[in-house]
């Protein structure tokens, strides 16, 4: 009987036996930000435009201003994943979580972004992209109190199984901020308003949520860089 009690105490003394989920969370490396980059890969993005978007994103993540912003934070690291969206229910993780701490790790992430095959997407299902991104954050192998979904697109939400506003509200309830980059290739959307206005109402949410507009696809890198600096370091809009 004494032996059984000792064996039971030994087993219960193992952290994994007590709370495997808690132990896993404690073991996950801490970063200053969990960031999902949800990029538009819908049918409205042709091959050249898609290349501009990928290159602009890779360039932004390796920019000295971004690396300085990361280095200024307590952990000196952010974790980034990239999602492509378009088709209803078809959002896809094309680059899984990678930590960025310095120029070398930023270059590795940029390389993964450039090399990732384009997913097959159509339409503009932003709500489903937000839901997919929120689930990706929940399963991240890193931990941070700051969690952000970046939605970049050139059109409004259409044909989502879960409308963008509902997905946004669900993400915000989980402590996630949703920001947006509006690529305003047309002066107004099908709803008769600028895309940034649509994103302000239907897409963004959470403390300090904001929209930055790119006036052209060529302006994407500048807008993304300004957006990332603001998210990482809290620098006011206008930097970039």
pLDDT digits (tens, 9 = 90+) for 90-110: 899 999 999 999 999 999 999
Quick check: 19 pLDDT over 60?
Answer: no
Predicted confidence at residue 15, as pLDDT, reads 40
Q: How many structural domains are present in the chain? A: 2
Average pLDDT of the segment spanning 30-44: 90
Quick check: 38 pLDDT over 90?
Answer: yes
Residue 158: pLDDT band by 50, 70, 90 thresholds? Answer: confident
Range of the domain at 169: 31-233
Residue 45: pLDDT band by 50, 70, 90 thresholds? Answer: confident
168 and 189 fall within a common domain: yes
In a domain, 238, yes or no: no
Which residues contact residue 194 at a Cβ distance below 8 angstroms, ignoring those fewer than 6 apart?
182, 184, 187, 188, 213
Read off the CATH number of the domain in which 163 is found: 3.40.50.410
Predicted confidence at residue 10, as pLDDT, reads 31
211 and 131 fall within a common domain: yes
DSSP-derived letter for residue 238 is: T
The span from the CA of 195 to the CA of 166, in Å, is 18
CA distances from 204 to 145, 163, 201 (A): 18, 13, 7
In a domain, 240, yes or no: no
Q: Where are the beta strands (DSSP E) in 48-118?
A: 78-85, 92-100
87 and 5 fall within a common domain: no
166 and 94 fall within a common domain: yes
Average pLDDT of the segment spanning 164-188: 90
133 and 110 fall within a common domain: yes
209 and 142 fall within a common domain: yes
Looking at per-residue confidence, does 185 or 120 come out higher? Answer: 120
97 and 63 fall within a common domain: yes
* pLDDT tens digit sequence for 136-150: 999 999 999 999 999
Predicted confidence at residue 106, as pLDDT, reads 97
Predicted confidence at residue 90, as pLDDT, reads 84
66 and 37 fall within a common domain: yes
89 and 12 fall within a common domain: no
In a domain, 239, yes or no: no
Q: Where are the beta strands (DSSP E) in the chain?
A: 34-40, 78-85, 92-100, 147-153, 177-183, 211-214
24 and 49 fall within a common domain: no
The span from the CA of 123 to the CA of 117, in Å, is 19
In a domain, 39, yes or no: yes
Predicted confidence at residue 236, as pLDDT, reads 39
Residue 187: pLDDT band by 50, 70, 90 thresholds? Answer: low
73 and 11 fall within a common domain: no
Look up tokens 């059109």; give the residue.
155
User: Please, are residues 230 and 239 in contact by the beta-carbon 8 Å criterion?
Assistant: yes
| Average pLDDT taken over every residue of the chain | 84
Residue 172: pLDDT band by 50, 70, 90 thresholds? Answer: very high
CA distances from 231 to 60, 144, 221 (A): 13, 14, 15
């Amino acid at each position: 009987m004494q032996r059984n009690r000792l064996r039971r105490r030994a087993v219960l003394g193992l952290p994994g036996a007590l709370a495997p989920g808690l132990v896993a969370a404690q073991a996950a490396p801490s970063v200053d930000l969990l960031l999902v980059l949800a990029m538009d890969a819908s049918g409205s993005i042709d091959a050249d435009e898609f290349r501009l978007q990928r290159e602009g994103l890779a360039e932004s993540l390796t920019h000295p201003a971004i690396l300085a912003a990361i280095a200024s934070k307590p952990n000196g690291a952010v974790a980034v994943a990239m999602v492509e969206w378009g088709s209803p229910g078809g959002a896809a993780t094309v680059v899984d979580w990678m930590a960025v701490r310095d120029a070398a790790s930023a270059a590795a992430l940029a390389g993964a972004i450039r090399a990732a095959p384009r997913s097959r997407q159509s339409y503009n299902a932003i709500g489903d992209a937000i839901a997919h991104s929120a689930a990706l954050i929940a399963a991240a192998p890193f931990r941070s109190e700051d969690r952000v979904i970046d939605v970049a697109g050139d059109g409004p939400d259409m044909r989502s199984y879960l409308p963008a506003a509902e997905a946004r509200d669900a993400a915000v309830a989980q402590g996630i901020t949703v920001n947006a980059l509006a690529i305003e290739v047309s002066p107004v959307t099908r709803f008769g308003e600028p895309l940034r206005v649509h994103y302000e109402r239907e897409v963004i949410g959470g403390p300090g949520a904001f929209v930055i507009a790119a006036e052209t696809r060529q302006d994407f890198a500048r807008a993304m860089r300004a957006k990332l600096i603001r998210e990482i370091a809290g620098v006011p809009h206008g930097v970039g």
